[in-house]
Structure 1
Amino acid sequence: MISYCGEIHQKDHWKFHKDICKVISDIMKERGVSHLYENLCIIDPKKWKAKREETRQTVESRMSRPTILEEVEMFRYPRACFVCHEAKQENLRNCPGCSLASFCRDHPSSYLHDKNCATIKKSHEFETEIDPRSGLITKVVSKIVANTPTKIPRSIREFIDSSFKWNESLPACMQFYLAEYLTIPLSIFNAFEKLKNPSKTEESPSKMVVHLRGINRRYVFTNSWEALLHMMPNLNNLLVVITDQSDDMRMEATLCSKCTSKKKKLLMEGVGVHYLEYLKADSYR
């Protein structure tokens, strides 16, 4: 059900994975299979989706906690045949084109996948080649105009065109990538703008805590959140908490010189529990 790049990371993650691993192992022993989805061979998409959810709920009912995001995705996107969803691993091979789909011996290919394979491969290569640590986000955020436009942008593209001072054009592919990282903070800013523009008044908060549930960490732990510090002048302290993670972590972002001189802070926390549990925890903020 789950793979690791090596023994070191497997051991590091064991404290978070061991409870669900035991439950899954017990169920497989009871069923006499080597994989939870083995021998199902459900071709109908709706039935396959229902079976995955039923399996997740069965596992969750045997644990003392809800399944977190990464575990939910483990049940939703198992390595199984693209056509019949057979999950016996020794009978599967990865697509030689994109490596992101698998096929069994009885179904070596699929027209539905073949027509999209090149696009999937290109998207995957783009994701792996462009790293958020490359400095793109920091560069973009530093170029945000402090005084936001009077007209609320209707899209990410309009925001980029109206709120950034570019000396050179931004490639379309970079705009797509940038949108993934700016969508959540810009949505929050847009909500404030619609509330009679409190970001431009004394009513604008000096401190803010944002709770996010089930969001991929890669889209949260970036300096894209610094955009709020730029666009909301009164905001000095911003804490972003994301629950349903595989582990706990906390980091303070390195801000631009302007924010640093004003002693602004941007903190990001990953919480390894379900959001409902976090609401009851002593660490709730």
Structure 2
Amino acid sequence: MTDDLHNFFFYANTCHVCKSSGNESPIRKCSNCKMISYCSKEHQKQHWLQHKNICRVLSEMLDEHDKSNLLEGMRNVSMEEWVKAKMNLMLMVSLKLKRKLLPYEEEMFKFPKACVVCHEVNSKSMTDCQMCPCASFCEEHQNDPGHSKICDMLNLCYDLDIASTVFIRNPPRNVVPYHTEMAYLPTSINGFIDLYVNEDKSALVSSDIQKPHISEYLTRSLTLLHAMERLEYTTGSEMTLHIIGANMIEVDGIELWETLLHWLPSLTKLNLVLVGPELDSNNEKTECNICDCCVEKGMKLYLETHGILYKDYVNSDSFVKPDIIVGYNLGIHECENIDSDMDSWSQSIRILPEQKCPFVLTSYTSEEAEKEHKRLCDILQRKVTWLCYEKNPYSSLRPHRDYETEGVYYQNQYIIIYRDLD
């Protein structure tokens, strides 16, 4: 694996360079930092130029605190304390390096080698899971059954990450027919992909790997269509959609929103307005590429991106009133103190009822969905009634490792639909 590719991701129980596991060949931790492993001296040398600065900082911290592992002493603490310790260590290293950590470096702290039950890091008799490269067990917990519930999903995370190094990320080829009458979606995103997406026969990966990849592109537009069905929402010839808290994930595969032009009989013009401080601003409407049939029918798909908070967009000259507002995996509950300097959401949320339109909110997990709804009510200072709160049949099929629970999460796994917020 090339230098660029092996730094895409980190798994504690694999060689960082070739991604082989201890099942294939013995792997050893870096003797200095104790945070990353290699199968051979050659691979350690290959990665040394990229690793040496963070290795030096970690080694100095080990000496300073007289520890053999910077996460030792956390055995049997609560998951909340464990996560806090990992994040504090990550922040401290970033400050000492005077730079933001690379994604794989962050994963060294989010997913360190530790017993999945008690967080022990120094056990000399630590045993790695034989089925996935994510889990380890101390001597006391080697027969613990809890990990088996998510082992397959964690292994799929690994397989998908490996596939991403050889599988070119392209939006899937969509064969959704034009509907002249109202039609209902298949019962799940699985069914939709089976019916309407052509498998790439030239790809170097199996359909089992392609389908989760494809679902990452489709989940946003199909989640909206599902919400419109639940709302019994009727569109005219034009619709304006506001996607708030947007980032570059929403921009990737933007052409897949053309699905709405095929699916909704009356819709001929779709305006997508993406708003979020992580975006680059392009306040002008950009016409997106659509299929030849859509062009012949005079259909249009427009995109605007505004790299600002939603409250600032609503008060700007660029503002266009929405028909529906969507927030994908917003995390509005994450700031503990409403209206504090760290709270970027409260003022924007208070503007939503003024738009007098449906609001669709998705979350990674059921627990997060509950917290999102509660925070929404707290900000608006009243009980807000939802039309629908459910596991989303159009969530992504691609699992991602969750450092807060040490399980997995999925994009848009839970959905809350509000007819309005008045």
TM-score (norm 1): 0.54
Matched residues in 1 for 2:150 and 2:304: separation? 39
Which residue of structure 2 lines up, in the alignment, with residue 184 of structure 1? 220
RMSD: 5.8
CA separation in 2, counterparts of 1:132 and 1:185?
23
**Structure-2 change in CA distance of 1:126 and 1:146 (3 Å):** same
Q: Please name the residue that 2:177 is paired with.
A: 145
How many residue pairs get aligned? The number is 246
Which letter does structure 2 place at the counterpart of 1:277? S
The residue type paired with residue 145 of structure 1 is P
Given that residues 240 and 268 in structure 1 are in contact (C-alpha distance below 8 angstroms), is that contact kept between their aligned partners in structure 2? yes
User: Which residues of structure 1 form unaligned runs of 5+?
Assistant: 11-26, 63-69
Give yes or no for the alignment of 1:50 onto 2:84. Answer: no
Q: Note the 1:1-285 alignment, pairs <5 A.
A: 37-42=71-76, 48-52=78-82, 55=85, 77-87=111-121, 95=129, 97-103=131-137, 106=139, 109-110=142-143, 112=145, 113=147, 120-122=154-156, 124-129=158-163, 133-135=168-170, 137-139=171-173, 141=174, 143-147=175-179, 149-160=182-193, 164=196, 171=207, 174-199=210-235, 201-202=236-237, 204-205=238-239, 207-212=240-245, 221-223=252-254, 224-232=256-264, 233-241=267-275, 255-258=289-292, 262=299, 264-266=301-303, 276-277=343-344
Q: What amino acid maps onto 1:150 in structure 2?
A: A
- CA distance in 2 between counterparts of 1:260 and 1:279 reads 41
Cα distance in structure 2, aligned partners of 1:226 and 1:180: 16
SS of 1:80's partner is coil
The AA in structure 2 aligned to 1:265 is Y
Alpha-carbon separation, structure 1, partners of 2:123 and 2:274: 39
SS at match of 1:255: coil
**Alpha-carbon distance between aligned partners in 2 of 1:92 and 1:253, rounded to the nearest angstrom:** 56
Using a 3 Å threshold, how does the CA distance of structure 1 residues 107 and 278 change in structure 2: closer, same or farther?
A: same
Q: Matched residues in 1 for 2:274 and 2:74: separation?
A: 41
| Alignment CA distance shift 1:263-1:77 (3 Å) | same
Letter in 1 for 2:223: S
In terms of fraction of residues, the more helix-rich structure is 1
Q: Find the aligned partners of 1:279 and 1:240 in 2 and give their Cα distance.
A: 18
Q: For structure 2, which runs of at least 5 residues remain unmatched after alignment?
A: 1-8, 11-15, 18-46, 52-60, 93-102, 310-329, 333-342, 352-422
TM-score, structure 2 normalization: 0.40
Q: Which has the larger radius of gyration?
A: 2
What is the alpha-carbon distance in structure 2 between the residues aligned to residue 269 and residue 128 of structure 1?
Answer: 34
* Structure 2 residue matching 1:209: 3-state secondary structure: strand
Q: Which protein has the bigger strand share?
A: 2
